[in-house]
Chains A and B, each alone.
Chain A
Amino acid sequence: MSAASAISPITSATDILELKNVSKRFHIGKREVRALEAVSFVMQPGAVTGLIGPDGAGKTTLMRLVAGLLCPDGGEIRVLGIDAAKDPQSIQSSIGYMPQRFGLYEDLTVQENLDLYADLQGVLPGDRLKRYEDLMRMTNLGAFRGRLAGRLSGGMKQKLGLACALVRGPRLILLDEPTVGVDPVSRRELWAIVYRLVENQGVSVLLSTAYLDEAQRCRDVVLMSEGRILHQGPPSQFTQPLTGRTFQMHVPGITKRSLMRELGGRPEVVDAVIIGDDVRVVLSRAPEAQKQVTAAFSGAVLVAVPPRFEDSFVDTLRVGKGEPPPTPSAKPAAVLPAAPVAIVKTIVPPPKAAGAVIEVKNLTKQFGAFYAVHDISFSVAPGKIFGLLGANGAGKSTTFRMLCGLLPISGGMLRVAGHDLRTARAAARGRVGYMSQKFSLYGNLSVMENLRFFASAYGLMGRNRSRRIDEVLGEFGLSAVADMNSGGLPLGFKQRLALAAALMHKPDILFLDEPTSGVDPLARREFWHRINALVDAGVTIMVTTHFMEEAEYCDELAIMAAGRILSMGTPAQIRHSAATPANTNPTMEDAFINLIESAQRKAA
């Protein structure tokens, strides 16, 4: 189907959605949060408009305002020609809205959930049968009508949520992060459904996402950050200024990590990230910068690559704020100083014995009849980054919790630094650092109090303790917020504090569970710079992630789905395994989808 076949039968441009100078503030305790400030845009009818930005940019607030669930503090919102502040009821009865956690009733079947939403939205009994048929065909859930919603996979739940939101056949639907935490296969299916809606029924879709690569799939993109709209336009408009400035680079004799670090320190480099065995660079100005870089690294090979949406995001934020890379989170730069990345000097690499630091053999975890982890084996060599990649529910976190001794194993064997941490003496745990998914800190304690507590927990006392805390405050740029309660900090700061707490005792093994989820791309880059520095100093890192592109930072990688390891190897090996004549240079996501689909074929 071509874009030309998209029809917009009923609407004119201003009808669908128009925001004028909308602002919204929240009060959390004594603090005022400016969720949205002077936001204005007009949505194109009969197309997918992407609302893109990091967590905390104001995407969800905007969605809730449009749905009439919140009242704006200022400005005007017109949805389908209706004023959202005056008549939220009639908006709610004519649009479809799927919030981040859609209210599926887990103890009802797929069909019962559909019936319930059809009842709630007043769909006439005569229209239902045909509508259900359409929705089931669209979502491929027809075979699962009798299954309890709680028993569906994450991706299927999202599809059912979408079907419920669509049961009335609305002209405008709002989808709030429908693809978060969903595996790439389901993600692709969800997009296919959205496209079909737009093309066949002329529905207008406003879709928010934190995955920047999804921007390219939208007709129109609204880029948000800190409650403001940075830019609106078709995706090509975002990447256009970057043409000729993006390269994949490789210098013989320099490891990818040190190359990335050195590039990161140069003024003409906007961004440097690891992709496979190369470093992907975004340069500030096209021809001069390229010359400068080539001159600085003898023998450097630069291959031009097409720009990605993420490049423009980083470019907009960094250049817009006049910040040189790789300085951390651009967020509260005005109030809070940025953190220098210099961990190397403080960590003395301990002499390492050869052999694996982490060893896992035939590890299994059963909850009743359900295998959360099924017979997996791998080992991690010292000073390497090992990644577990998979969707929510693939068994990554369960594996992690077993390795850290938080969960008993059902079968198999595991060794971390020669111990099973579950039964090992407390001292063995002193060699391990752990940073959990939710950046677990004591929210009503200040940054200083948190650090003091974790320092003492790891046996630091007296002057040693205060010296180490000072070091960490400096390294992680936390001095200015030392007396603030950690619960009120922006996510990027929480993440830094969590990492600081996990590194308090200079561990030689570091466990990171989804360390970058919800953090904006700049903070993610800063985070990986730190991790690279740690690895250079000899620390072994074990990390889980559902960001495909982060897999590239790992030395070795295991792709997990449904409790099993589907594939293991270096990122390049895994990517190349998916190569076909049609697609000679597959991405990590292509490889992932390929693996899942072939596993499903085998199972069927």
Chain B
Amino acid sequence: MAALMRILALMIKEFLSLLKDKKSRFVIIVPPLVQLLVFGYAATYDLTRVPYAVYNEDSGGAARDLLADFHGSPYFHRVAVITHQQQIAPLIDDRRALVVVHIQRQFSRNLLSGRSGSVQVIVDGRNSNTALIALGYVRDIIVAFNLRWDNDHHITGPPAQLVTRAWFNPNLLSRWFVVPGIVGLLTLVVTMLVTALSVAREREQGTFDQLLVTPFTPLEILLGKALPGFIIGMAEATVMIVAAVWWFDVPLLGNLLTLYVGTVLFVIAAIGVGLAISAISATMQQGLLGAFLFLVPAIILSGFTTPIANMPQLVQWITLADPLRYFVVILRGVFLQATPWHLLAGQMWPMALIGGLTLSTAAWLFRHRSY
């Protein structure tokens, strides 16, 4: 009973010192919302309005039809029509055009006489990822043109045709892929900021000593410090999930309970890491620096932007210690695939393990960090 009252008193104190301060109130409310909007709109792999230039040497109807397809596509935006070979290089060099479509002189005549015509596509390869995506779009337009041409001229097409249909994200919208990840990322950032400063602030101001000479046990201090972080972290995650569904229109297909079990475990792991960092730090500056030293690799290694399977084996092992890695899988699974509980259990227990280890480290450090 007395222990419960003490924990409650510590929680009230933590909330008061967080919420009474205008700056820390700002830190937990404004940046996450701004980041959600910025990431939600800006972090996309989709290429739209690819700037392209046309170099058409053919005056025939087939070439006109093909170029009309480019013109009508929402993915392409014509920036120039050129008439000389020499004009190509400056356009690409200045990044005015990403793609130059060059139709050769004999194109229409060849097609009409039953032979194949060639289209040259020049792509700016400086950003290889973008170049490949643009090239893919070009290929799609040409394949569609081919099919239509064959159909109209009663030519038998190639014996095997590729028809693609994407599962879980039929329109391949990258927002569907990115936004659930952001839920995890921002929950991590806010929870870490709240907890990583909590002990460090008290050490810097000397109040932690005062706390240690009272009858508080390390476990009580741990709970009193962790619970406010937990409540804030869960609230933050909920706001993000709601925004993902209602603002960004990402479908939430799976079980909400599964999602929340994952969220609870993830927030606990994040609090554990934050408190452990905080318990090592002697000043707020060290706490903040420690939090960022953890946050940046944790985000890069989480598979949020780049697939973990692409990383070198050694780095893949390191990712096993990253709680965000597991939560990103859970988020995407529950949001887009309706992955059932039993398939996600393998992502749940590592987070619980990380949380348990870091929280006990933090509690031990409260009393044993000597300086």
What is the interface of chain A, defined by CB distance below 8 A to chain B? 401, 404-408, 421-422, 426-427, 429-430, 432, 434, 436-438, 440-445, 449, 452-454, 456-459, 461, 501, 511
Q: With an 8 A cutoff between CB atoms, is B217 at the interface?
A: yes
Interface pair A404/B209, CB less than 8 Å apart: yes
- Complex alpha-carbon distance, A453 and B10, angstroms: 7
Q: Across the interface, which residues of B come within 8 angstroms of A429, CB to CB?
A: 213-215
Residues of B within 8 A of A (CB-CB), count: 27
Report 12 cross-chain contacts, Cβ distance below 8 Å, ordered by A residue: A407-B370, A408-B368, A429-B215, A440-B207, A442-B13, A444-B16, A445-B20, A452-B12, A453-B10, A453-B12, A458-B215, A459-B215
B359 to A: closest C-beta gap in Å: 19
Not counting A438-B206, A461-B5, a sample of 7 additional A-B residue pairs whose C-beta atoms are within 8 angstroms of each other reads: A404-B212, A406-B209, A430-B214, A440-B209, A445-B13, A454-B214, A501-B210
Q: Across the interface, which residues of B come within 8 angstroms of A432, CB to CB?
A: 213
Interface pair A449/B16, CB less than 8 Å apart: yes
Q: Across the interface, which residues of A come within 8 angstroms of B211, CB to CB?
A: 457
Interface pair B214/A457, CB less than 8 Å apart: yes
- Known contacts: A444-B20, A453-B12. The answer to whether A459 contacts B209 by CB under 8 A is no
Interface pair A436/B206, CB less than 8 Å apart: yes
Of all chain A residues, which has the CB nearest B7?
A: A456
Q: Across the interface, which residues of B come within 8 angstroms of A434, CB to CB?
A: 209-210, 213
Q: With an 8 A cutoff between CB atoms, is B133 at the interface?
A: no
- Complex alpha-carbon distance, A565 and B3, angstroms: 40
A466 to B: closest C-beta gap in Å: 14
* Contacts between chains A and B (CB distance < 8 A), count: 82
Q: Across the interface, which residues of A come within 8 angstroms of B9, CB to CB?
A: 452-453, 456-457
- Known contacts: A408-B370, A445-B13. The answer to whether A401 contacts B209 by CB under 8 A is yes
A435 to B: closest C-beta gap in Å: 8
- Complex alpha-carbon distance, A422 and B213, angstroms: 9
Q: With an 8 A cutoff between CB atoms, is B94 at the interface?
A: no
Interface pair A442/B215, CB less than 8 Å apart: no
- Complex alpha-carbon distance, A406 and B12, angstroms: 24
A483 to B: closest C-beta gap in Å: 12
Q: Across the interface, which residues of A come within 8 angstroms of B10, CB to CB?
A: 453, 457
Q: Across the interface, which residues of B come within 8 angstroms of A430, CB to CB?
A: 214-215
Of all chain A residues, which has the CB nearest B212?
A: A406
Q: Across the interface, which residues of A come within 8 angstroms of B205, CB to CB?
A: 438, 440, 442-443
Interface pair A453/B21, CB less than 8 Å apart: no
Q: Across the interface, which residues of A come within 8 angstroms of B217, CB to CB?
A: 426
- Known contacts: A456-B8, A457-B6, A459-B2. The answer to whether A421 contacts B213 by CB under 8 A is yes
- Complex alpha-carbon distance, A441 and B205, angstroms: 8
Q: With an 8 A cutoff between CB atoms, is B216 at the interface?
A: yes
- The 10 tightest CB contacts between A and B, nearest first, are A456-B9, A440-B206, A426-B215, A434-B213, A457-B214, A438-B206, A440-B207, A453-B13, A459-B2, A440-B210
- Complex alpha-carbon distance, A436 and B208, angstroms: 10
Interface pair A436/B209, CB less than 8 Å apart: yes
A403 to B: closest C-beta gap in Å: 10
Of all chain B residues, which has the CB nearest A429?
A: B215
- Complex alpha-carbon distance, A427 and B2, angstroms: 11
Interface pair B13/A449, CB less than 8 Å apart: yes
- Complex alpha-carbon distance, A437 and B210, angstroms: 11
Q: With an 8 A cutoff between CB atoms, is B17 at the interface?
A: yes
- Known contacts: A456-B9, A459-B5. The answer to whether A441 contacts B207 by CB under 8 A is yes
- Known contacts: A434-B210, A436-B209, A437-B206. The answer to whether A457 contacts B20 by CB under 8 A is no
- Complex alpha-carbon distance, A457 and B5, angstroms: 8
B222 to A: closest C-beta gap in Å: 13
Of all chain B residues, which has the CB nearest A400?
A: B209
- Complex alpha-carbon distance, A152 and B111, angstroms: 91
- Complex alpha-carbon distance, A343 and B207, angstroms: 25
- Complex alpha-carbon distance, A333 and B21, angstroms: 29
- Complex alpha-carbon distance, A426 and B2, angstroms: 12
Q: Across the interface, which residues of B come within 8 angstroms of A511, CB to CB?
A: 213
Greatest chain A CB density within 10 A among B8, B13, B370 is at: B13
Interface pair B21/A444, CB less than 8 Å apart: yes
Q: Across the interface, which residues of A come within 8 angstroms of B12, CB to CB?
A: 452-453
Q: Across the interface, which residues of B come within 8 angstroms of A422, CB to CB?
A: 367
Of all chain B residues, which has the CB nearest A487?
A: B205
Q: Across the interface, which residues of B come within 8 angstroms of A438, CB to CB?
A: 205-206
Q: Across the interface, which residues of B come within 8 angstroms of A501, CB to CB?
A: 210
Q: Across the interface, which residues of B come within 8 angstroms of A456, CB to CB?
A: 5-6, 8-9
Q: Across the interface, which residues of B come within 8 angstroms of A443, CB to CB?
A: 205
Interface pair A405/B213, CB less than 8 Å apart: yes
- Known contacts: A445-B16, A456-B5, A457-B9. The answer to whether A404 contacts B207 by CB under 8 A is no
Interface pair A427/B215, CB less than 8 Å apart: yes
Of all chain B residues, which has the CB nearest A423?
A: B367
A371 to B: closest C-beta gap in Å: 15
Of all chain B residues, which has the CB nearest A401?
A: B209
- Complex alpha-carbon distance, A406 and B16, angstroms: 26
Q: Across the interface, which residues of A come within 8 angstroms of B2, CB to CB?
A: 459, 461
Q: Across the interface, which residues of B come within 8 angstroms of A405, CB to CB?
A: 212-213
- Complex alpha-carbon distance, A442 and B9, angstroms: 13
B300 to A: closest C-beta gap in Å: 34
Of all chain B residues, which has the CB nearest A435?
A: B210
Q: Across the interface, which residues of A come within 8 angstroms of B212, CB to CB?
A: 404-406
Q: Across the interface, which residues of A come within 8 angstroms of B21, CB to CB?
A: 444
- Complex alpha-carbon distance, A511 and B216, angstroms: 18
